[in-house]
Structure formats: structure tokens, C-alpha cells
Structure 1
Amino acid sequence: MVRTREFDTEAAVSRAMELFWSRGYEATSMRDLTRHLGLGQGSVYAAFGDKEGLYRAALEHYRSTLAAAALESLKEGADARSAIRTMLVERLRIAVGENGRGCLAVNAACERLPADESTRRTVRDMQDASRDALAEVLRVAMERGDIAAEQDPHTLAAFLVTFLNGLLVSSKITPDARALEPIVEVALAALG
């Protein structure tokens, strides 16, 4: 007889995400995960296959919650420059939290690539979504005349995503938002 799962899978993934985010994939053992989640190894294996499966689920959870929230904040901003500034600063503040844990997606890229193609796809999808959302905000702002139309919106959006990745890596080295926020203004100068 097959036993039914007796735990909240989404809550387990969220808790695993927090542990992977603070410690990284390699430094997090299955024993760490089972302790943190309060689950037996068998339950984790039955639900996720293995540590890698749980990690992929944690990345997807990050993508559908925190990364998605950042994109929503872009859509809600009336003024493109302010919306982009808010998104960049908010991502920076999240990254410096918890003593500079950074961004889970950027951490995954730094730690797991090029060896793990699944992680590469997930991180690339997150970056593509960010770039596309930024490009749309920039396109509309250019049409309204809110920002200079000197650059292609997709190229400018790709620059901002690349800048954000570098900023998030820097936040691990210098986990001080006040020290890093002025750099955001330099990036925003590219908007003309």
C-alpha cells in the first residue's frame, strides 16, 4: 500500500529555499535539509527524488515568488526610472539581508554552472523574464518620452540585468545597501 505524503510540500520547498540560499548547494547536505525541514530522508526522496530535485524546486519557488514580485513592482510603477530604481534597490536590500546572502539565482549561477544544465535553464529563464519585463517598461517609457530613445530597449534592459547581477555579487562582498545604492544611480544614468 502506498503511503500518502503527510507534509506540506510547498512549505518544505520554501524552507529548503531559505537553507540553500543562506548556505549554498554544496554546503547543504541532505542531513542538513532533513533536520531543517523536520522530515525523514525517505519523505524528501519520495517527494523530490534527491537533493538536486529539491534544489530545482527551491529555485523554481524563488522564481515564482521573489523574482516574480520584483517584476510585478516594475509593472506597477508609473514612472519608469522610479520603478527601475525601486526594483534595483529592493533586490539589493533583499540580497544584503541575512548577512549578505545575495540572490539565490546569482548564487546558483556562480556555484552550479556550467556543470548543471537544469540550473542554467532556470537561471536563464529568470534573467530572460527580467530582461523582457524591463524592455517593455523601457519601450513604453521611450514612447511616452519619459526617457531618451537613444538605446534599443532590449539592449538597455540586458545591460540593467547584467548590472543587477554584478551588483548582487558585490552585495555578497559588501553586504551594505547604503554603500551600494549610489551605484544604482550610475546605472540609471544610462536611461538618458
Structure 2
Amino acid sequence: MARPREFDEADALDRAMQVFWTKGYEGTGISDLLEAMQIGRGSLYKAFGDKKGLFLAALKQYEKNCIEPGLQFLNDRNIPDGAQRIQMLLETVVAVVESDNDRRGCFLCNTAVDQAPHDPEISKTCQDMMGKMVQGFYGALKDTTRHKNLGEEALQKKAMGLNIAYNGLRIMVKAGYAPEDVRKTINTILAEFDLLT
């Protein structure tokens, strides 16, 4: 009979995700992970295989904790105007700086730049997650007054452009731009995509 896990895997993954998010893959050592996760080396390897396995699991945890709520928000019909949903999502990028001085950027964006070029599996995971974000923007665009009559191809192009702009905002935050500069950029993006409400 298999022994039950002696730790809360979701909680441990959350802790590992925070370490990877803050220090990056290369900057994170096994000792950092063990200390943060409060588990032994054997438990880590038994549950996740190795450091890369844990990193991929942490990336999926980020998708669950951060990407999926964003997608739900973009498709929330309780806010009927998709342009308003897009604007509110973009504004969350600067809100985390103003409220918590959180300048880690986006764990997905960081991974796409840092690790995806060197690892096909991580690259595919990043592309899949970004593809979901594109579809989230696509769904919101379909619910905007100015874009509802556009064809699917045009909407997909705009959705891809919005995802690129969103990632750019996350990078601006990590690079240390002042909140007011990020807000000006958000307004520029909204104007360029004809989404000012």
C-alpha cells in the first residue's frame, strides 16, 4: 500500500513557484526550494522527479492561480463590454506595483525569455499558456461594440496584438518603469486598439 504524501502538494508548489518567480530557474538552488517548500530532498524528487519537473509543475500552478482567473475575467459576461474587461485587466499590471510594489513581472513572461529558448518542453508550455491568453482577449474583443462585426481572422490578429502588449506591460513593470508611465502606456494601447471606454 502506497504511503500518502506527507505534505500539501498544492501549498508546496505555491511556495516553489514564488521562489522560481523571484530568483528565476538558474538562480534557484535545490536548497532554496527545500527551505521554501518545507520538505525533504527525497520528498521533492519522489513527487516531482527533478528540478525541471518541479519547475514545470510550478509553471502549471501559475497557470491555475494567475492565468485562469485572468481568462475567466476576460470572458465574464457580468461586465457586458469586453473593452472594459480588457482595460481592467491591463490596469491590474500597474495595480500590483502601486499596492504591493511587486516588480517581479509575469512568471510566464520571465520563463518565456529565460528558459523557453533552451528547452522545447518549457517552450511548448509557454506557447500553450500564451495561446490561452490570446483566446481570452479574442473572447473579450467579440463582446466589444466596435469590434463585434470584425471577421475571425481580424479579431485573432487583434487578440495576438493585445497579448503582446500585455506582456510588454509586464516587462515594463519588471524593468522599473514608474506607475504613471505604465498607465500612459495602457492608455496608448487602448487607443491604438480602439478600446477606450
**Partners in 1 of 2:5 and 2:103 — Cα distance?**
35
**Partners in 1 of 2:102 and 2:192 — Cα distance?**
30
Matched, 1:103 2:119: no
TM-superposed CA distance for 1:110, in Å, is: 1.1
Matched, 1:23 2:10: no
Give the conservation status (yes or no) of the 8 Å contact 2:17–2:61: yes
Instruction: Flag structure 2 segments of 5+ consecutive residues without an equivalent.
Output: none
TM-superposed CA distance for 1:125, in Å, is: 1.1
Q: For residues 56-80 of structure 1, what are the alpha-carbon distances to aligned partners after superposition, in whole Å with 9 as ceiling and x for unaligned? A: 0000010112111111111123212
Q: SS at 2:11's partner residue?
A: helix
**Partners in 2 of 1:14 and 1:98 — Cα distance?**
20
Q: TM-score, with normalisation over the residues of structure 2?
A: 0.87
Q: SS at 2:170's partner residue?
A: helix
Equivalent position of 1:133 in the other structure: 136
Distance 1:41 1:114, change over 3 A: same
Give the conservation status (yes or no) of the 8 Å contact 1:71–1:130: yes
TM-superposed CA distance for 1:43, in Å, is: 0.6
Question: For 1:79, which of 75, 78, 81 is the aligned residue?
Answer: 81
Q: SS at 1:57's partner residue?
A: helix
Moved more, 70-79 or 52-61: 70-79
The percentage of counterpart residues that share the same residue type is 30
Equivalent position of 2:67 in the other structure: 67
Give the conservation status (yes or no) of the 8 Å contact 2:141–2:148: no
What code does the residue aligned with 2:56 have?
R
Question: For 2:125, which of 106, 122, 125 is the aligned residue?
Answer: 122
**Partners in 1 of 2:89 and 2:102 — Cα distance?**
20
**Partners in 2 of 1:106 and 1:113 — Cα distance?**
10
Moved over 6 A (4+): none
Give the conservation status (yes or no) of the 8 Å contact 1:148–1:191: no
Instruction: Flag structure 1 segments of 5+ consecutive residues without an equivalent.
Output: none
Question: For 1:166, which of 152, 164, 168 is the aligned residue?
Answer: 168
TM-superposed CA distance for 1:29, in Å, is: 0.3
Q: SS at 1:6's partner residue?
A: coil
TM-superposed CA distance for 1:149, in Å, is: 5.3
Q: SS at 2:110's partner residue?
A: helix
Q: TM-score, with normalisation over the residues of structure 1?
A: 0.89
Moved more, 22-31 or 111-120: 111-120
TM-superposed CA distance for 1:148, in Å, is: 7.8
Give the conservation status (yes or no) of the 8 Å contact 1:130–1:161: yes
**Partners in 2 of 1:58 and 1:35 — Cα distance?**
16
Give the conservation status (yes or no) of the 8 Å contact 1:100–1:172: yes
**Partners in 2 of 1:23 and 1:103 — Cα distance?**
13
Q: SS at 1:26's partner residue?
A: helix
